[in-house]
Chains A and B, each alone.
Chain A
């Protein structure tokens, strides 16, 4: 049974760095083809993909946010960590992590997200 759960601060101040952790079970990030992605959703708005890391440490980022994002994995702990720098109130959103099996080629990633965490709401406010 695959499960994922996001953890991190619920409130951050503008300009601060956000660090979110996705802790998962039921799969290994050392298995060929496996990946974990981060997706966010501002209140009442659409989903936005942020970042993706694969079993072989291939990392991909949303072009519009690439300069602010870092994704890493700790295979031994079954965790994926996302950091986002210079937080702004417009970054207020529910942040999800999700499992995929796929690959990236050039600028495209075959990555249907088939298992999702419950999401964590992050509010950016002073």
Chain B
């Protein structure tokens, strides 16, 4: 099985900051990686699919990059409404990462 390592597990940043979250796969997964946002008490929301494709309607401050084993999710300018937990997901057994809880400093 392919293992996903997501980091950091939590992150505190200020409004306007650039925020980066990473996911590392134990094997080459090409670009088969998605990113989700989950706000407290809500269902997850797909933000990025196939590593770098922005889902329709998602603000352009969100972006994804990477291929192979190393992937990055970026918020270019953190907004108060971005406070949430973020998960990566890969296509081998549809495994999710452990999540990154993002808080405002």
Tell me the A residues contacting B by CB distance below 8 Å: 37, 39, 46-49, 52, 62-63, 96, 98, 107-114, 116-119
Most buried by A among B93, B94, B99: B94
In terms of DSSP, what is the predominant structure of the interface of chain A?
A: strand
Q: Mark B32-52, 1 if CB is under 8 A from A, else 0.
A: 101010100001111001100
Minimum CB–CB distance for A68 against chain B, Å: 16
The answer to the question of B98 belonging to the interface, with a C-beta cut-off of 8 Å to chain A, is yes
Instruction: Count residues on chain B whose CB falls below 8 Å from chain A CBs.
Output: 23
- Map CB proximity to A onto B89-100 as digits: 1 under 8 Å, 0 otherwise: 101111111110
Whether B55 sits at the interface, judged by CB under 8 Å, is yes
B92 touches A113 (CB 8 A): no
Q: Are B43 and A116 in contact (CB under 8 A)?
A: yes
Give the residue of A37, A48, A108, A114 whose beta carbon is less than 8 angstroms from that of B55: A114
Which residues of chain B have C-beta atoms less than 8 A from A62's C-beta? 93-94
Are A52 and B94 also in contact (CB < 8 A) when A112-B49, A114-B55 are? yes
Q: Are A116 and B44 neighbours in the complex by a CB distance under 8 Å?
A: yes
- Which residues of A lie under 8 Å from residue B95 when comparing CB positions? 49
Contact of B45 among A49, A108, A116 (CB under 8 A): A116
Residues of A within 8 A of B55 (CB): 114
